[in-house]
Amino acid sequence: MENVLLKKSKMKTHKYMNTMKKYLLLVVTLLFGVMAGYAQDKYSINRNDLPEAAQKFLTDYFPKAKVGMVKTDRHLLKKTDYDVKLVNGTKIEFNNAGKWTSVDCKTREVPEGIIPKSIRTYVKKNFPDVKIVKIKKTTTKYEVELSDDVELTFNLLGQFKSMKMDD
C-alpha cells in the first residue's frame, strides 16, 4: 500500500514540475518578447528627433553639416541614446540627455570647442604636427585619437594618463 501511495505522490510531483516548467517557459518567452519590443532602433534624417541639447550641439559645432542619419537606440534597462552620422562622414554619439559621448571626424579635426582646454594644450605641446580626429568621453576619462593613430587617455580633469599606438 505504501508503494502505491509513494508512486502516486511521485506522479503528482512530476506533473507539478512539468506544469511549472511550462509556466516558466511561457514567462521567459513573454519577457523576451516585451524586451524585443522595447529595444528597437529607429532611423531618420530629422534633427528634430534628437534631444534639444544634441540639436544645439550640432548647430554650434557643425552648423553647415547635413545630417545623413539619426539612429535612436531604445534600450529596456538602459536609457535611450542617439547615433548621428553626418553626410561628411562624421559620427557623433549622444546620451539620453543629448550630451555628446563620442565625436569621430575620421580624418578631419574635431572642433576645438569640444575638446577640454587642458587636453588641447597637451596635444599641441607634445604632438605639434597632428590633429585630434576623435574624442570619446566616459564616466571616468577622455579617450583621444590623433591623426597619426596615437590614442591618448586623460582623466576627467584633462590630466594625461596613458598613450597607445595603433599598428
Which tens digits make up the pLDDT trace of 36-60? 444 456 767 677 788 999 999 999 9
Q: pLDDT tens-digit profile of 102-138? A: 999 999 999 999 999 999 999 999 999 999 999 999 9
This model's pTM is above 0.75: no
- Alpha-carbon distances of 94 from 21, 33, 39, 112, 123, rounded to whole Å: 42, 27, 17, 18, 24
Nearest partner of 118 among 161, 84, 64, judged by Cα: 161
Q: pLDDT tens-digit profile of 4-14? A: 555 555 556 65
Structure-block grid coordinates of residue 98: 543629448
Per-residue pLDDT, 6: 52
> pLDDT averaged over the chain?
83
Under 8 Å between Cβ of 119 and 127: no
